[in-house]
Amino acid sequence: MTKTVLMCPPTFFDVREAKNPYMGQAIDRKKAQQQWDALRRSLEDSGLKVELINPVKDLEDMVFAANQVFVGQARTGEKFIVPSHMRYPSRHQEVALYVDWFRGRGYRIIDLDLREEYLEGHGDLLWHPDRSRIWAAYGFRSTRGGVEKFSAAMANMGFPVTPLQLVDAHCYHLDTSLCPLNNDAALIYPGGFSPKSLAAIRSGFPRIHELTRDEALQFMGNGIVANGRFLTPRLNEHLSQILAKEGLSPIVVDTSEFEKSGGSAFCMKAFLD
C-alpha cells in the first residue's frame, strides 16, 4: 500500500514571534524553499505520495503540517481527525484550514471542545507503529487536560492512550524526543521525560535507543520512517549504528532553515494512512 503524506509549501514561512527556544534568527526564504523541495523529493523517492494544502499569507507556521490535526482511522475503517487547539493564537487559523482540507476528503471530525486546554496534533500525539495505541505528551504546548480529553475520545474508539510528561523546554513537542522506528524499537531522548513517563516508554518498546541531549537538539529524533528508510536532518556514527541495527537506511535531508523555527523533517508532514 502506498502511504500518503500531507505537506504545506513554505511560501509564507517565517520566524516572527518566539514560540519555542529555537526561534530568534531570521530565515532565508529561498533556502527554505529549496530544503522543502528536497524533503518532498526524498519522501517521493522513498515511495510516498505527497499531497498538498495551499499555504496562506501571514500563517508563517502553516508549513509544519504535523500540528493542526491528529489523523487516524477507526477500527471500523472510517478515517477521522481530531482538530488541535494550538497554544499560540498566531497558529489558530491554520487549524480551520486543515480541518476544511480533511472535511472535503470525507474525514470525520472529532471535536473535543478543548476550551482552555491545548492539544497540538502530531507534535505531541504519536501512533504506535502498529496503530494499536497512542503516545500523548503534555507540558509545554499540549496541556494535561487536553491530553485527558483526547484520551477519553480515543478510549471510546478502542485506542489506549499513554500520557507522557515533557520536562525539557528544548524538547517542547513529543516528536523531538520520541521517534518510534518500528513496533519494537524507538529513538528517545530520556532527559525529555519525567521519570514515570520514561518508564512507560521503556515498557512500551522492547528496544530503546537513547539519543544524547545534543543529538535531540539537533533534531536527530525528529526523523521520518518511510519504507525502510529514515529521513534525518543529521547523521553521526551513533545514529548510523542504531539505524543499521533496526534495518533502516539513512537519508540526510537538510532542514536548517526550519530548525530556526523549532521544527525539522517530522514536523513538516502528516501521515494520512
Residues that bind ligand ARG (CB under 6 A): 19-20, 61, 64, 66-67, 91, 123, 173, 175-176, 261-263, 267
Minimum gap (Å) between residue 164 Cβ and ligand ARG: 15
Identify each DSSP E strand in 140-271 by its residue range.
161-165, 178-182, 185-188, 207-210, 224-226, 229-232, 249-252, 270-271
CB of 179 to ligand ARG, least distance (A): 12
| DSSP 8-state assignment for residue 85 | B
Return the number of the residue (124 or 246) whose C-beta is nearest ligand ARG.
124
8 Å CB contact between 166 and 172: yes
Query: Closest by alpha carbon to 55, among 43, 45, 65?
Result: 65
The Cα 184–Cα 227 span in angstroms is 16
Q: CB atoms < 10 A from the CB of 1, how many? A: 4
Instruction: Report residue 238 as a C-alpha cell.
Output: 551513533
Please identify, using beta-carbon distances, which residue of 1 and 26 lies nearer to ligand ARG.
Answer: 26
Are 155 and 162 spatial neighbours (Cβ–Cβ below 8 Å)?
Answer: no
Q: How far is the CB of 267 from ligand ARG (least distance, A)?
A: 3
Question: Closest distance between ligand ARG and the C-beta of residue 241, in Å?
Answer: 25
Q: Cβ of residue 86: shortest distance to ligand ARG, in angstroms?
A: 7
Q: How far is CA 230 from CA 44, 189, 241, in A?
A: 13, 17, 13
CA distance 205 to 180: 9
Complex with ligand ARG: residue 197 or 264, whichever CB lies closer: 264
Question: Which C-beta is closer to ligand ARG: that of 91 or that of 209?
Answer: 91
Nearer to ligand ARG, 228 or 267 (CB): 267
Q: Which is nearer to ligand ARG, 228 or 253 (CB)?
A: 253
CB of 219 to ligand ARG, least distance (A): 9
Least distance to ligand ARG, CB of residue 18, Å: 9
How is residue 204 written as a grid cell?
512500551
Residue closer to ligand ARG (CB basis): 197 or 261:
261
Nearer to ligand ARG, 122 or 209 (CB): 122
Closest distance of CB 206 from ligand ARG, Å = 26
Mode of pairing for the β-strands spanning 229-232 and 224-226: antiparallel
What are the grid coordinates assigned to 27, written together? 530565515
**From CA 91, how far away is CA 24, in angstroms rounded?**
18
**Phi and psi at residue 127, in whole multiples of 5°?**
-65, 140
Best CA proximity match to 83, nearest among 94, 159, 19, 74: 94
